[in-house]
Each structure stands twice: as structure tokens, then as C-alpha cells.
Structure 1
């Protein structure tokens, strides 16, 4: 890869890591959207997947709620793995370019409804079966787009978690989802030595961005955290749609 492209990768993952540090998610979404401007989505995901797994593992154990999170979210995680397996191969298929557009629109709609205080709750007695269904849908979408925020994120928010618990829960869930997605990439032959250098740069910049983002998050009030989280979702959705449309037009 050329030096300018490596610099672009570094900047993309610094920004993606910062957003993940602040809101608890967004690294694959931001990085995929940025990298898709300069390379095919399949190649972009091959660079994104390892930093996403490692940063998610870090986020998974950055809190005391791990056992409770697994107890509450295991149907969501198993359903997601099943959905990813069922939809294996869609990321590089002929309709793959529609996935980011649909996902971006869903992110924007979700964030706008959240900003206007439209919300729903899932009763504890319904968490397991609803979580399993949400997981399967999330897995199917993830296998086609490379990201796992819809509809898992609204579900995790709906079951009622505090700010830090929700961030750790996102880390646990995304670790499972990205590992499952990595198996799809390996089966498709998308991971190899060619991604080693950009992957190492991406990982270093992701951690730097996450560290800065976590410093910002620790100084936010809960309502400010929620507001900026939803604003970030709108920006992520708009950028994802714009980059996907631009890529389609330019090709």
C-alpha cells in the first residue's frame, strides 16, 4: 500500500476509535464508511475486523458487569452468531452495496426517535426470547454489512442498563459478533498477509482514539452522554449512506 493510503487508514481508525471510546460502538461502522471511499468493502472489512475484535475485547473487560451481561444477553449473542452463519457470503455478493445504505437509514431513524425521547422497554420476562430474535436479525444484517448495531443496539438500550454497564455490554456483544464475522471472512479467503501492515496501523490508531474518547466520556453527565451518543448515530448513518452512494456512482 502507498504511504498516503496508510496515512488515510491511520486517520480513519483514530476517528473510529475516538467515537467508540465515547459512545461504546462505531469503530467498524466509521472505519468501513471511510475506507470504502478508497477500496472495495471486502478489502476494507479485512482491515477492520482484527482491530474491531481486539478493541471489543478490551471494552468487554473494562468493567465489573461481565457475568450479569452474559446472563442477560446470551440469547442475543447466540442468535447473532446463527444469523451471521445463515447469511455467510452476502458481504461480497452482488447485492452487498445495498447493505450500508439500509443500515445508515436505520441508524438515522433510530437516533432521531431517541433524541425526541421516543423509547420502548423490554420486560425482564421477555428479554430472552426477544433477544434471540433480535440476535438472528442482527446477525443477518451483520453478515451483509459488516456492522452489528441494528437492531441489537435498540434492544440493549430497551432492557435498561446504566451508562457504563451498557458500554461494557456492547463490548461483550460486539466481541462475539466480530469473531463470528471473522470466520466468514476467513472462509471467503479475505484475511491474509496483505492486511498485516494496515491492520497493525489500524489497531494502534484505534487504541489511541479509544483512549482519548474514554477520557471524554468519563467527563460527561448521563444526559449529555445520551445526547451525544444519538447525535453520533445520526452522523454515522448519514456518512454510511453517503459513502455507499458515492461508491456506487463512482463505480
Structure 2
């Protein structure tokens, strides 16, 4: 990678990390959107492996209530593992764009519904089975589409968590999803040079994550929730467009 290209790629990761720092999600989507303009899609995806995994771990551990988040979401997380393992759907390498378009469409509809005040009801006493069920669906869609957000994000929002706890829960959930996806795609097949290039993007991604976290701390709960809904609506729409109109640099 030439020096000028490296600076462009690093800048994309700072921007993507900042979006994730504010909303708790979006690093892979924002990064792919920017990187696909200067790199082949396969190379762009390879660069995301370590920044995506480690920023999610950092996001979870930095939330300040990591133990409480695990207790609250362990049913969801264990369901994700089971769903990824038992999924009847084709994996992301063979599923085609329909899986990502479906996931993105559902996410966009959910985000727009939230902007108009339509929310999933809190699970209440039914959470003992709803959490694992949401995890099963999330795990299956993760290995089929490579996207972690449905239905885990709507479920986590229905728990009425404050913004820092929600950010931590997203970090933990996405960490589990990333590991499941990595294993399903054959973790042992990742080349050393690809991992080295991916590791080189950790610092820019973490800088962006820190900037986003700094901005988030200055947002009110109401402003954060509205920004979160806008972000997931945009994320869903982008996923649909990218599935229907694939992009890639030459």
C-alpha cells in the first residue's frame, strides 16, 4: 500500500471509529463505504478483521458496567453462538446479496419506526426466552449476511438501557458475532500479511473510537437516542443499496 493510499485508508478508519464511538455501531459499514472507493472489496474486508473485533472488545470493557452488561445479555450472547452453529441458512460466502438486503431492509424499517415513536415493547418477565430467541436469529443472520445488527439491536433497545450500558451491550454482542462470523468463514485461513495490514489500522480506529466516545458523553439521552435511530436507519438503507448495487474498486 502506497503512503498516500495509507493516509486515505487511515482517515477512513478514524471516521468509522468516530461513528462507532458515538452510536456504538457502524464501523464496518462506514469503513467499507469509504475503503471501496480506493481498494478492492476483498482487501477492504480483510482490513476490518482486527479493528472490528478489538474496538468491540474495547467498547464493552470501557463502558464501566461490563459485569452487569454480561449478566443482562448472556442469554442473547449464548443464543448467538447457538444460532451461528445451528443455522440452516447458507453462509455469507454462498448466500448472495439477498441476505444482506433483507437484514438491511429490516434494520432501516426499525430505525424509521423508532424515529416516529414506534418501539418494541420491553420483554419483561418473558426475557428468559426472548433474549435467547433473539440471539438464535441474530447468530443465523450473522453467518448468512455478515451483519450483526438484526434483531439484536432492536432487542437491546427494548431493554431501556441508558446510553453507556447500551454501548457496552452492543460492544459485547458484536464481539460475539464477530468471533462467530470469523470462525464460520474459516479463521485458520486468514493470511499473516492480511492480519498485519489489519493490525496497522487499529490505531486510527481507536483514535476515532475515543473521539466518538468523547462526543457521546456530551450528548443528552434524548439526543443520543434520536441520533442512534438516525444512524441505524442510514446503516440499513446503505446495506440495501450495497447489496443491490455492489461496489468495488479496480
Residues 173-197 of structure 1, C-alpha deviations (whole Å, 9 max, x = no match) = 21222122222233572x1123134
What is the CA–CA distance in structure 1 between the aligned matches of 2:8 and 2:242, rounded to whole Å? 15
What is the CA–CA distance in structure 1 between the aligned matches of 2:57 and 2:181, rounded to whole Å? 15
TM value normalised by structure 1: 0.88
Residues 138-175 of structure 1, C-alpha deviations (whole Å, 9 max, x = no match) = 11111122221110000011122111111111112212
Q: CA offset at residue 220 of structure 1?
A: 0.7
Q: Is the 8 A contact 2:83 2:136 kept in 1?
A: yes
Matches within 5 A, 1:161-172: 161-172=161-172
Count of residue correspondences: 248
What is the CA–CA distance in structure 2 between the aligned matches of 1:16 and 1:114, rounded to whole Å? 23
Q: CA offset at residue 239 of structure 1?
A: 2.2
- Unaligned 5+ runs, structure 2: none
What is the CA–CA distance in structure 2 between the aligned matches of 1:156 and 1:177, rounded to whole Å? 15
**Mapped pair 1:98 → 2:98:** yes
**Residue in structure 2 matched with residue 53 of structure 1 by the alignment:** 53
- Pick closer, same or farther for the CA change 1:15–1:106 going to 2, 3 Å: farther
- Pick closer, same or farther for the CA change 1:105–1:2 going to 2, 3 Å: farther
**Residue in structure 1 matched with residue 205 of structure 2 by the alignment:** 206
3-state SS in 2 of match to 1:61? helix
What is the CA–CA distance in structure 1 between the aligned matches of 2:44 and 2:145, rounded to whole Å? 11
**Residue in structure 2 matched with residue 39 of structure 1 by the alignment:** 40
What is the CA–CA distance in structure 1 between the aligned matches of 2:120 and 2:41, rounded to whole Å? 37
Q: Is the 8 A contact 1:83 1:140 kept in 2?
A: yes
**Residue in structure 2 matched with residue 238 of structure 1 by the alignment:** 237
Runs of 4+ in 1 over 6 A off after TM superposition: 248-251
Residues 103-132 of structure 1, C-alpha deviations (whole Å, 9 max, x = no match) = 221221111000001012233311121111
**Residue in structure 1 matched with residue 111 of structure 2 by the alignment:** 111
Q: CA offset at residue 26 of structure 1?
A: 1.4
What is the CA–CA distance in structure 2 between the aligned matches of 1:101 and 1:2, rounded to whole Å? 34
Q: Is the 8 A contact 1:139 1:177 kept in 2?
A: yes
Q: Is the 8 A contact 2:36 2:247 kept in 1?
A: no
- Pick closer, same or farther for the CA change 1:219–1:122 going to 2, 3 Å: same
**Residue in structure 1 matched with residue 16 of structure 2 by the alignment:** 16
**Residue in structure 1 matched with residue 156 of structure 2 by the alignment:** 156
What is the CA–CA distance in structure 2 between the aligned matches of 1:202 and 1:226, rounded to whole Å? 29
